[in-house]
Structure 1
Amino acid sequence: MFGYDTGVVNGALDPLTADLGLTPLSEGIVVSNLVFGAAFGAVIGGVLSDRYGRRHNILLLSLVFMFGTLGCVLSPNWQILALFRFILGLAVGGASATVPVYLAEIAPVERRGGIVTRNEVMIVSGQFAAFVVNAIIFSLWGEIDGIWRVMLLVAVLPAIVLFLGMLRMPESPRWLVAQGRDEEALAVLSQVRTTERARAEMAEVHRLAEEERAAKTAGAVDLGVRWVRLLILIGAGLGICQQFTGINSVMYYGTQLLGDAGFSSNSAIIANTLNGAFSVIGIAVGIAVINKIKRRTMLLGGFTLTTTFHLLVGLSAMLMPDGSAKAWFILVFVVLFVFSMQATIGPLVWLILSEMFPLKIRSLAIGISIFVLWIANGLVALGFPPVVKALGIANTFFAFAAFGLLALAFIATRVPETKDRSLEELEDDFRARYA
């Protein structure tokens, strides 16, 4: 759902623009409203998840996904469409805050890492699915007026499956223990563990619940501490650096970008599926190597690659004559950029954010960092169409390359190495450096 709803607008944008008469600015508003909604949805979703339970929140989100999807499909103008895209964003953000927590809390400890990282795999798989579905629908029925509504309508099917499936799923045992509902927690653990292990694990769940309560002791007063403030600023900076690679400009506007590069409408929507495919391949490669290379080394390497491919896209757009050769060169470099991004920077930023904050400030710090990340995502999504219109493909990607150089300098001078270091070691390091 997360991936499909963020990716479906990619192929639907051209027929949608023709049908509703969008300008570059209104295109940006329609696309970015989902992302701005996600920023607030992440905050609201986290609060509701803590108060009413993970399972309850996912059930609620599936209904919001359905309502938002149907609202988008039936929208008579772009303003109403933008409103329902914002509502869909609330569901996307709520899912980003709730689903990884639910997976982590219900998975056996030895399988937790693999199960939780499947969340990221399924997000990019959902985007790939959206690109493929769009390509099939457009190839078969592209001449039909309002075909973009069918593309968006497909998203209601997984929302129904999510709702029906979650009716059969148990609540998080860790949340139940935090509510003092130990018997229910034990019953849940007994569904997914042997009886002996379930009883033994209750003590562990109690300990983790106590840690969770301890982790929520930080508040606004902690922002007055210099090292805490600087650490949060580094987390927010990482989120900005990740989004200003422009990855989501490709995931949201890839079909339009390839059309501007020289592909026909039908060829562009088919070629764009390569971005989705290499996104999935990239995340699979990243997960395979992420624990074998130091975080900073992998992050610096990732930004070096993405910045190089930004320059190559810009040079191809600027120097090559219009034609199929230019279009194919741009496609190859964009696909390599997507692969490099998803194999390195994409999963690494989320991992470093989960590792770099001491327990006391973790909830506050990650909440602020992810909120800033979503807002940066929204600004890129809002600004991409008018910037391409005003500057062209070449200068737009040169601007991304300039941001990449700034990101390299920021990472080299500010971002700590978190691999194989305890939270206590990181906290001592920051206290000593910035106290």
Structure 2
Amino acid sequence: MQGALVTDKLKDGQESEAKKTPQPTEPLVKVIAFIATLGGLLFGYDTGVIAGALLFMKHDLHLTSVTTGMVTSFLILGSAIGAICAGRVADRFGRKKIILVMALIFMLGSLGCALAPNVVLMIIFRFILGLAVGGAAAIVPIYIAEIVPSNRRWQFVTLQELMIVSGQLIAYTSNAAINEVWGGETTWRWMLGVACVPAVILWVGMLFLPDTPRWYAMHGRYREARDVLERTRKAGKVEKELSEIRSSMSSKSEKHSRRQKTISVWMKRLVALGIGVAMLQQLSGVNTIMFYAPTMLQATGLSTNASLMATIANGVISVIMTFVGIMLLSRFGRRPLLLTGQIGCTCTLLAIGLVTWLMPETVNGHPDAVRSYLVLGGMLIFLCFQQGALSPVTWLLLSEMFPMRIRGMANGVSVFAMQMTNFSIAFMFPIMLESIGLTWSFFTFAAIGVAGGIFAVIFAPETQGKTLEQIEKHFKKHLQDDPAPEQAGV
């Protein structure tokens, strides 16, 4: 039976978030969300800045196609390790402490990359910077999901995705501006060093914020949990939510699992689903466009300056469409947007491949500008589906679908799988571009997208309109009842 069964079960008795009476959001919640998602801004900047920096770094550090892939992808390799380590440690020591550590690593990694005298040290510091990127990706959405009111969770968690694409836009814009003002082979050092500024703000800001009520409750610190709820909820909501949290922590089976330090079968099935959802986002090939857009546009015949300026359009569209995606989530839910995003991305990749295949590279001995701008247009359409649907849903699902006891670990494992997929693609893409060309690279990702679409149709869940405790109770019930995960859509 298809994943629609899980969707139907979870929708039973579900009240649409869009139809609920809006719950006032306490000012502290907004401050918490803004400061915490600076981790997402740094994530976006550090992944996006390399797109322009590579154009200058390749000459200064004498990069080959292999070392280009390593400089780009070792940040992602580091982020995979950072995600799985931070996820496990955050369940023990707290979400806030891990974010503080990540802010310090962001500062160290950014300075190291900016000052690196050779390609070996550049790769090492990109890896260190990746540890912070992965830790932020795994922990920030959980921190926000556990601390904001349930009916505003979709809005504040997806703010993380908005900050990621905003960071990428800032990176693309600053790359072009720095090149325009200080154009030269060493401008890439300024491009990479700018990230220190938001890292300092994140560290200072997090010093004054609390940890989440659910983490306090998981460690028996109910007084502190109540205090956080009183500061982030209206008075009438505190007792009900604290009661739900206590109830989820007092289950006999969960107490047994905690004593034995084992993970129940239903939790393992849920983690497997989370890994699939996380990998789905990266298998679309989105980061080949975010990392290598200038390189690809140069390959179609655009100049260096034109490629840098055109890449800004990718950042603008990503920010605009993330706003659109946040609004659509409240109306249509998680599963429909996930399916729409996956299908749209796959069709667009196929269309870009056809453009590069069927249109000539040169006209009268000159690069065909029409072909170049059609490829750019295809990238922008792709990002409409990716950032307006697929990416926001992915981060939201990962922040809310796992039970409290393993939320940090499970999200860390899922983001690890996401980033290892990202690493493999980022490392291989320059080699693919050199060996099989732009056309067949896009066709390859389109074929992978078809397989991803089949997975989404069969397994994608729906979690709209439920508190974290209600989602946990639902999955626990139905994954224990169903003997085979494929029959329950998980």
TM-score range, shorter chain: 0.7 to 0.9
Residue 28 of structure 2 aligns with which residue? none
Between the aligned partners of 2:256 and 2:174, the Cα distance in structure 1 is 43
Residue 290 of structure 2 aligns with which residue? 251
**Cα 1:23–1:307, aligned 2, differ >3 Å: closer, same or farther?**
same
Q: CA deviation at 1:85?
A: 0.7
Between the aligned partners of 2:199 and 2:414, the Cα distance in structure 1 is 28
Residue 96 of structure 1 aligns with which residue? 137
Q: Counterpart of 1:342 in structure 2: which amino acid?
A: Q
Q: In the TM superposition, what are the counterparts of 1:218-367 in structure 2 within 5 Å?
A: 232-293=271-332, 295-321=334-360, 322=362, 323-353=368-398, 366-367=411-412
Between the aligned partners of 1:433 and 1:173, the Cα distance in structure 2 is 32
Is the 2:57–2:186 contact (alpha carbons within 8 Å) kept by the matching residues of 1?
Answer: yes
Q: 2:428 aligns with which of 356, 377, 383?
A: 383
Is the 2:155–2:326 contact (alpha carbons within 8 Å) kept by the matching residues of 1?
Answer: no
Please give the per-residue CA displacement for 1:390-421, whole angstroms capped at 9, x wherever unaligned. Answer: 11111110111111122223334x31443569
Q: Counterpart of 1:170 in structure 2: which amino acid?
A: P
Residue 11 of structure 1 aligns with which residue? 52
Between the aligned partners of 1:351 and 1:212, the Cα distance in structure 2 is 29
Is the 2:172–2:315 contact (alpha carbons within 8 Å) kept by the matching residues of 1?
Answer: yes
Secondary structure of the 2:209 match is: coil
Q: 2:170 aligns with which of 129, 140, 164?
A: 129
Please give the per-residue CA displacement for 1:162-210, whole angstroms capped at 9, x wherever unaligned. Answer: 1122222233333334444444444444544567766776545544555
Between the aligned partners of 2:45 and 2:383, the Cα distance in structure 1 is 17
**Cα 1:51–1:427, aligned 2, differ >3 Å: closer, same or farther?**
closer
Q: CA deviation at 1:111?
A: 3.1
TM-score, normalised by the number of residues in structure 2: 0.79
Residue 74 of structure 2 aligns with which residue? 33
Q: Counterpart of 1:334 in structure 2: which amino acid?
A: M
Residue 468 of structure 2 aligns with which residue? none
Q: Percent identity at matched positions?
A: 39
Q: 2:483 aligns with which of 402, 420, 431?
A: 431
Q: CA deviation at 1:383?
A: 0.6
Residue 415 of structure 1 aligns with which residue? 459
Please give the per-residue CA displacement for 1:355-380, whole angstroms capped at 9, x wherever unaligned. Answer: 66677876665443332111101101
Q: CA deviation at 1:8?
A: 1.0
Between the aligned partners of 1:320 and 1:116, the Cα distance in structure 2 is 42
TM-score, normalised by the number of residues in structure 1: 0.88
Between the aligned partners of 1:373 and 1:335, the Cα distance in structure 2 is 23
Secondary structure of the 1:290 match is: helix
Q: CA deviation at 1:99?
A: 1.4
Between the aligned partners of 1:24 and 1:54, the Cα distance in structure 2 is 38
Between the aligned partners of 2:205 and 2:270, the Cα distance in structure 1 is 40
Q: CA deviation at 1:426?
A: 4.3
Is the 1:11–1:255 contact (alpha carbons within 8 Å) kept by the matching residues of 2?
Answer: yes
Q: Larger relative CO (CA 8 A, sep 6+): 1 or 2?
A: 2
* Cα RMSD, aligned residues only: 3.1
Aligned residues: 431
Could you list the runs of 5+ residues in structure 2 that have no partner in the other structure?
A: 1-41, 363-367, 465-470
Is the 1:133–1:151 contact (alpha carbons within 8 Å) kept by the matching residues of 2?
Answer: yes
Is the 2:138–2:412 contact (alpha carbons within 8 Å) kept by the matching residues of 1?
Answer: no
**Cα 1:234–1:141, aligned 2, differ >3 Å: closer, same or farther?**
same
Between the aligned partners of 2:241 and 2:338, the Cα distance in structure 1 is 36
**Cα 1:98–1:370, aligned 2, differ >3 Å: closer, same or farther?**
closer
Q: In the TM superposition, what are the counterparts of 1:62-73 in structure 2 within 5 Å?
A: 62-73=103-114
Is the 1:32–1:381 contact (alpha carbons within 8 Å) kept by the matching residues of 2?
Answer: yes
**Cα 1:221–1:111, aligned 2, differ >3 Å: closer, same or farther?**
closer
